[in-house]
Amino acid sequence: MSPAPLLSVRDLRVGFATEGGLLQAVDGINFDVRPGEVLAIVGESGSGKSVTAQTIMGLTRSKNARIEGSVMLDGVELVEAPDAELRRLRGDRIGMVFQDPMTSFNPVYRLSKQIGEAMAAHRDDLSKQDMHARAVELFEAVGIPDAARRVDDYPHEFSGGMRQRAMIAMALALEPELLIADEPTTALDVTIQAQILELLGQLNRDRQLATILITHDLGVVAEVADRVLVMYAGRVVEEGSLDEIFYDPQHPYTWGLLGSLTRLDRPRPKRLPQISGTPPSLLDLPTGCSFRPRCPHEFAKCTELPALEERTAESPRHCDRCWLSSEQKREKRQVGGQIGLEAPA
Amino acid sequence: MTTENLLEVEDLVKHFPIKRGILIDREVDQVRAVDGISFSIPRGQTLGLVGESGSGKSTACRAVLQLIKPTSGSIRFEGQEIAGLSRRRMRPLRREMQMIFQDPYASLNPRKRIGQIVGDPLKRQGIASGSDLRKRVQELLVRVGLASEHYNRFPHEFSGGQRQRIGIARALALQPKLVIADEPVSALDVSIQAQIINLLDDLQDEFGLTYLFVAHDIGVVRHISDQIAVMHNGKIVEHGSADQVCERPQDDYTKKLLSAVPIPDPRESRVRRQGSTATS
């Protein structure tokens, strides 16, 4: 039996009033994250994945934002929670790692001070010595060599990968139950990316953290995730277990994402299968399926928006938003012996 | 000879001095950013230069283009030695070698219109002006997958992938022979990376371009390159055909780069993970 969800998101909608009208960045999404589980949210820029993460933490609250739906963290409603309450939860029960390790630290303070500050904001019983010792402990836990000395360095004395480790150390300072990592490896070299992913996986297993990993790269997802949510233009277009998404993907957009990866484990194709076109403007979405203008398999029914539902009888909790029948999908997703969106022209 | 080399680099060195002292700058040490590398690229082919941040690959590119003065070594373009050429003598050659940059958000002037950005090289080299310039730029925009109406727009109106197309149009405006692309796709979404790589492939076929393609992701490099050179600490540690380097790597550092690329296959990566925990 899987444990009860730590985080439950229901019908979450986030809109922003802009000069061009209401921009619906997130349009009704649902998901659960359980302790010890890594949920990956995958999508292109503008798909709403980061806004989702930021909304969970209450970071999108502003005068021109409209947030509806429910985000429950262990029985506490976050969408309606007062700012003070959210401030208490952030850092304490929810840790966050951002994309850019270069700009996430204050350059004029030592790392130990910044990590200590995060702790002091939530615990008033910790002495300076305690906090320093704890920072060293955290640096060791995330694999920073010579932690006792490096903890008093300034951010600029760290390389990108080391800074991201320090960032993770800070996120873990108060032993949160939920860790949100927004593109944690995008700014890093592949070799460093591999190390950071391994670290996240290990922390997830050892500490039974519930983790939300946000990324545009399905290669990263394959390394660490348990469940995957594929987002497109503010909606979830497919949801399933890691294996379901990689070996039995139902939505053409997922096929496109899988097809466009460069793969070292296969002979290189003459051309990379690509998804042509660009994501639609959220202010001017096509009627029906938002992926329709880029989809080579579009047909008459696609002008109606398909619901996100289980469409394959054999795998419950594997949902997608596409009108094609299971048989059609199985046939159409095969491009040159692999999964892809279309044969390159 | 059919496989004539467009670019030949021999024993290229770029050291940066580390200076100490207040009134008198004493040189106390050197950063050996590029420490004696040699490679050549046959006309119409692509050499992929791979390595981590700090391996010296970007410095190598900039030295080849004479954007920084190399410490020593020889760079021959179409047989002509260009290392140490004066700015004035370099100028006509600039038309032949162009660069595509990594960050499409930082490499386009936000206050200029696309038409100006792409047309400027043509104007500066005195190749086209007036309505001819406009026509040429619009043709270029269409060729790289944008539209001629984009001529009067500003960079902020475009997505990352579209901006990279603008950068490519600018690089191609002068019909160069050599294009140096420094991490051209690493700032882009994976799905957009494929579009840009395919575009670069098409343009190479169409215009017979020669590419020096620099990236840290060996998966991307393998796809576009004929040959791959792996750089580590300012030196080339392995050099060979793309398939040879990726399928039968000899050097330990190359092996490390290869094993770091995520395999988008969960069963594979589970096997790999178990393998690594068993050995550690």
Q: What is the pLDDT of residues B203-256, one digit of tens each?
A: 999 999 999 999 998 989 999 999 999 999 999 999 999 999 999 999 999 999
pLDDT in the model for residue A344: 52
Count the Cβ atoms, other than its own, within 10 Å of residue B22. Answer: 5
- Say if strands B5-20 and B72-77 run parallel, antiparallel, or are unpaired: antiparallel
Alpha helices per DSSP H over chain B: 57-64, 87-94, 114-124, 130-143, 160-172, 190-207, 218-224, 242-247, 252-260, 266-279
Q: Report the C-alpha gap between A341 and A254 in whole angstroms.
A: 8
- Average pLDDT, integer, range A201-228: 92
- ∠ at Cα B228 (B93, B59), nearest 5°? 50
DSSP three-state, residue B183:
coil
Nearest CA in chain A to B246: A264
Residues of A in contact with B261 (CB under 8 A): 190, 219, 264
Asked if pLDDT for residue A345 goes beyond 80, the answer is no
Single-letter amino acid code for the residue at B218: I
pLDDT in the model for residue B271: 83
Confidence band of A341 (pLDDT split at 50, 70, 90) = confident
- ∠ at Cα B42 (B41, B44), nearest 5°? 105
What is the least distance, in Å, from the CA of A273 to any CA of chain B? 7
Q: Does A262 touch chain B (CB under 8 A)?
A: yes
Closest-CA residue to A217 (of A28, A45, A26): A45
Q: At what angle do helices B160-172 and B130-143 cross, to 10 degrees?
A: 130
Q: Does A218 touch chain B (CB under 8 A)?
A: yes
Confidence band of B199 (pLDDT split at 50, 70, 90) = very high
Q: Report the C-alpha gap between B64 and B198 in whole angstroms.
A: 25
DSSP three-state, residue B219:
helix
Q: Which two tokens stand for residue A171?
A: 């996120």
Nearest CA in chain A to B52: A189
Confidence band of B279 (pLDDT split at 50, 70, 90) = very low
Residues of A in contact with B267 (CB under 8 A): 243
Q: Which two tokens stand for residue A282?
A: 């959220």
Cross-chain CB nearest to B159 (options A45, A221, A243):
A45
What is the least distance, in Å, from the CA of A272 to any CA of chain B? 6
Contact (CB<8Å) A261/B161: no
Asked if pLDDT for residue B280 goes beyond 80, the answer is no
CATH level 3 topology of B43-66+88-258? Rossmann fold (3.40.50)
- Average pLDDT, integer, range A12-34: 94
Task: Report the mean per-residue pLDDT for chain B.
Answer: 90
Interface test with A, best of B52, B185, B191 (most A CBs within 10 A): B191
Cβ–Cβ under 8 Å, residues A262 and A277: no
- Residue B97 DSSP symbol: E
Domain boundaries, chain B: 43-66+88-258
- Strand locations in B1-120 (E): 5-20, 26-42, 46-50, 72-77, 80-81, 97-100
Confidence band of B128 (pLDDT split at 50, 70, 90) = confident
Rg (CA), chain B: 20
- Average pLDDT, integer, range B137-145: 94
pLDDT in the model for residue A343: 61
Confidence band of B186 (pLDDT split at 50, 70, 90) = confident
| Phi, psi dihedral angles at B72 (to 5 degrees) | -160, 175
pLDDT digits (tens, 9 = 90+) for B63-95: 999 999 999 999 999 999 999 899 899 988 999
Cβ–Cβ under 8 Å, residues A237 and A27: no
Q: Report the C-alpha gap between B5 and A171 in whole angstroms.
A: 52
